[in-house]
């Protein structure tokens, strides 16, 4: 093989390598969201709870988290439903952010 053929062969290999890299980059960006996040970044499931007569956010937080002081967490997740954290109504459907210790 001569010098020219050697150089052409090298050019072909380089262009194939660049083409492969481009395709890999495309696949990585296309399927990036499919890769599982590490446990610390995973989204925990959200439960729902239907408010009953006599319920308060503190009672609900105590039930789900074992801590009545976690009620702001429920309020923040339900700002579209609850306007005043001291006033919830029977029948309201609340989202309970994940990480709860207890289930319904």
Nearest C-alpha neighbor of 98 from the set 53, 56, 42, 58: 42
Nearest C-alpha neighbor of 56 from the set 64, 100, 45, 101: 64
At residue 61, the pLDDT reads: 97
Look at the alpha carbons of 26, 27, 32, 38 in this order and tell me if their dihedral is positive or negative: negative
- Length of the chain (residues): 104
In the chain (104 residues long), the average pLDDT of successive 10-residue segments reads 55 62 62 56 78 97 96 96 96 87 51
Was domain 39-96 assigned CATH 3.10.350.10? yes
Q: Sketch the domain layout of the chain as residue ranges.
A: 3-34, 39-96
At residue 81, the pLDDT reads: 95
At residue 103, the pLDDT reads: 47
pTM above 0.95, yes or no: no
């Amino acid at each position: 093989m001569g010098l020219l053929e050697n150089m052409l062969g090298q050019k072909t290999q380089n262009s194939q390598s660049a083409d492969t890299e481009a395709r890999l980059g495309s696949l990585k960006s296309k399927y990036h969201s499919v890769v599982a996040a590490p446990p610390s970044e995973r989204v925990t499931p959200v439960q729902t709870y239907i408010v009953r007569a006599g319920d308060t956010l503190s009672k609900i937080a105590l039930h789900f988290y074992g801590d009545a002081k976690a009620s702001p967490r429920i309020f923040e997740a339900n700002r579209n439903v609850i306007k005043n954290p001291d006033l919830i109504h029977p029948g309201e459907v609340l989202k309970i952010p994940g990480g709860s210790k207890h289930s319904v």
